[in-house]
């Protein structure tokens, strides 16, 4: 048996890759089946890992194998300079799962821009900006107008999954790249926006089972992008507001999002048509009203609060009931095909660009497979799905964990 081959890695790159990926020593050592002391010895240059172990590290950190042999760590912008501030996520202390999700979304954005330029198919440029002093009803009206979605079209959607596809498509047509990310707990982030222009990114957590909830998060992040264009919101690294002041920004984004999804005139008509109900706004009644707009009951409650139908106290009481209701629901079950996951996570515009680039020999099949995280034998099925509407209410939904 041949002796293991030591790899002439740069110890500084071992430290850099682990820290940039957000991992402490212990879970990495456990994954590689070595002691923490052994991993530290590699990073100090006291012992060399084998070639196989370096390949395992590269896979775990999602880094190229060759990066560990560079003379010095690459200089890259801090991750928090890319995304907007999120409550509870400290810049520089992001979880490994969230860091990986942001890195992948940034890579996909760069790929989309490069392929669009190469193929002569530029994205539209999203230009609509907001200021925090603008009334939410007016801000919502302008954003909805920019997306080009009429109330008549929205009323014709058959179910909340169609609403999610249509809203997502409207943002993509307006010059926003919409991606989904897996494996990040919902308590960390339901969504995030990457404030890079042109082609800003909205990322949606694919753990979110409700299509209506994804649509609301989509609009919430769109508001943050428009606020960034209006110089009202900075990236997480530069954002100087304290937690209380930032929550005011979050509430503003919630209200504007609810106005995009639920315009005043149509809401007034829906409320007038509701039968009298002595029980007030229980969950069943809120669900019934929300269903007509293909939104979540929570989005509808937010909208009723801003419309003055619910007081703040009534809203807080209803939200407590809603939170209890959600906790009592069974765990979500489902299965997403590889094609579902690719369309869900990459989006149709990027998937179409990658296939077109491969067909015109701009990239290889291997590069296309790597970009889409999809095996080549699924490509023909992907082509069919990209140019056909989903056949059912759940088709195309990325449950993909």
Percent of the chain with pLDDT over 70: 95
- Share of the chain residues as helix, strand and coil, in percent rounded to the nearest 5: 55, 5, 40
Looking at residues 107-134, what average pLDDT do you find?
Answer: 95
Query: Of the candidates 330, 379, 331, 326, which has an alpha carbon nearest to the alpha carbon of residue 351?
Result: 379
Continuous segment of H or E residues that includes residue 192: strand 191-194
Give one DSSP letter per residue of 104-132, joined into a string: HHHHHHHHHHHHHHHHT-PPPPP-----T
110-114, 284-288, 371-375, 385-389: range with lowest mean pLDDT? 385-389
pLDDT-derived band at 327, boundaries 50, 70, 90: confident
Domains of the chain (ranges; CATH) run 11-76 (1.10.260.40), 80-261 (no CATH), 265-331 (no CATH), 338-386 (no CATH)
Task: Encode 215-229: b = buried (16+ Cβ within 10 Å), e = exposed.
Answer: bbbbbbbbbbbbbbb
**Would you say 342 and 351 are in contact if contact means Cβ atoms under 8 Å apart?**
yes
| pLDDT confidence of residue 389 | 60
| pLDDT confidence of residue 209 | 74
pLDDT digits (tens, 9 = 90+) for 366-397: 999 999 999 999 999 999 998 776 555 554 45
Task: Tell the burial category of 375 from Cβ atoms under 10 Å away from its Cβ (0-12, 13-18, 19+).
Answer: exposed
Continuous segment of H or E residues that includes residue 201: strand 201-205
Strands 177-181 and 191-194: unpaired
Residue 193 has pLDDT above 50, yes or no: yes
48-57, 188-197, 235-244, 275-284: range with lowest mean pLDDT? 275-284
**Would you say 215 and 119 are in contact if contact means Cβ atoms under 8 Å apart?**
no
| pLDDT confidence of residue 396 | 47
pLDDT digits (tens, 9 = 90+) for 140-152: 999 999 999 999 9
Task: Tell the burial category of 205 from Cβ atoms under 10 Å away from its Cβ (0-12, 13-18, 19+).
Answer: buried
Distance (Å, rounded) from C-alpha 11 to C-alpha 16? 9
Looking at residues 185-204, what average pLDDT do you find?
Answer: 96
Which tokens hold the place of 140?
A: 């919502």
pLDDT digits (tens, 9 = 90+) for 155-169: 899 999 999 999 999
Looking at residues 83-109, what average pLDDT do you find?
Answer: 94
Residue 57 has pLDDT above 80, yes or no: yes
| pLDDT confidence of residue 14 | 96
Q: Would you call 237 helix, strand, or coil by DSSP?
A: coil
Q: How many CA atoms lie within 13 A of 178 on its CB side?
A: 26
Q: Would you call 204 helix, strand, or coil by DSSP?
A: strand
| pLDDT confidence of residue 336 | 79
Average pLDDT, the chain: 91
Looking at residues 89-94, what average pLDDT do you find?
Answer: 92
Distance (Å, rounded) from C-alpha 307 to C-alpha 165? 27
**Would you say 295 and 212 are in contact if contact means Cβ atoms under 8 Å apart?**
yes
| pLDDT confidence of residue 329 | 80
Could you tell me the end-to-end alpha-carbon distance of the chain, in angstroms, rounded to an integer? 40
Task: List the beta strands (DSSP E) in 134-278.
Answer: 177-181, 191-194, 201-205
pLDDT-derived band at 333, boundaries 50, 70, 90: low
pLDDT digits (tens, 9 = 90+) for 266-282: 899 999 888 877 767 88
Residue 132 has pLDDT above 90, yes or no: yes
pLDDT digits (tens, 9 = 90+) for 4-27: 788 999 999 999 999 999 999 999
| Sheet of 201-205, strands arranged across | 177-181, 201-205, 191-194
| pLDDT confidence of residue 275 | 81
């Amino acid at each position: 048996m041949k002796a293991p081959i030591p790899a002439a890695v740069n110890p500084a790159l071992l430290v850099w890759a682990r820290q940039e990926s957000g991992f402490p020593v212990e879970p990495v050592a456990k994954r590689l089946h070595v002691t923490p002391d052994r991993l530290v010895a590699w990073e100090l240059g006291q012992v060399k890992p084998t070639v196989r172990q370096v390949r395992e590290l590269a896979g775990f950190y999602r880094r190229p194998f060759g990066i560990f042999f560079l003379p010095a760590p690459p200089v890259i912008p801090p991750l928090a300079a890319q995304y907007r501030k999120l409550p509870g996520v400290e810049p520089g202390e992001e979880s490994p799962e969230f860091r990986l999700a942001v890195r992948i979304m940034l890579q996909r954005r760069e790929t989309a821009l490069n392929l669009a330029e190469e193929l002569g198919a530029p994205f539209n440029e999203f230009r609509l900006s907001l200021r925090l002093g603008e009334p939410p009803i007016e801000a919502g009206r302008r954003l909805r107008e920019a997306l080009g979605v009429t109330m008549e079209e929205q009323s014709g959607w058959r179910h909340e999954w169609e609403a999610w596809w249509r809203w997502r498509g409207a943002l993509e047509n307006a010059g926003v790249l919409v991606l989904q990310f897996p494996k990040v707990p919902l308590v960390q982030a339901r969504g995030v926006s990457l404030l890079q222009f042109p082609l800003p990114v909205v990322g949606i957590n694919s753990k979110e089972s409700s299509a209506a909830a994804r649509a609301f998060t989509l609009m919430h992040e769109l508001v943050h992008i428009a606020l960034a264009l209006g110089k009202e919101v900075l990236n997480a690294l530069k954002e100087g507001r304290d937690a209380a002041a930032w929550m005011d920004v979050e509430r503003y984004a919630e209200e504007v999002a609810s106005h995009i999804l639920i315009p005043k005139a149509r809401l007034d008509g829906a409320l007038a048509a509701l039968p009298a109900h002595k029980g007030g706004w229980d969950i069943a009644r809120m669900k019934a009203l929300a269903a007509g707009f293909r939104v979540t009951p929570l989005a509808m409650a937010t909208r009723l609060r801003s419309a003055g139908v619910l007081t703040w106290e009534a809203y807080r009481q209803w939200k407590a009931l809603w939170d209890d209701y959600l906790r009592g629901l069974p765990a979500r079950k489902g299965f997403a095909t590889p094609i579902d996951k690719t369309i869900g996570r990459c989006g149709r515009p990027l998937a179409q660009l990658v296939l077109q680039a491969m067909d015109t020999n701009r990239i290889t099949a291997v590069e296309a497979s790597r970009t889409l995280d999809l095996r080549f034998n699924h490509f023909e099925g992907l082509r069919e799905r990209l140019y056909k509407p989903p056949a059912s209410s759940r088709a195309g939904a990325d449950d993909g964990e």
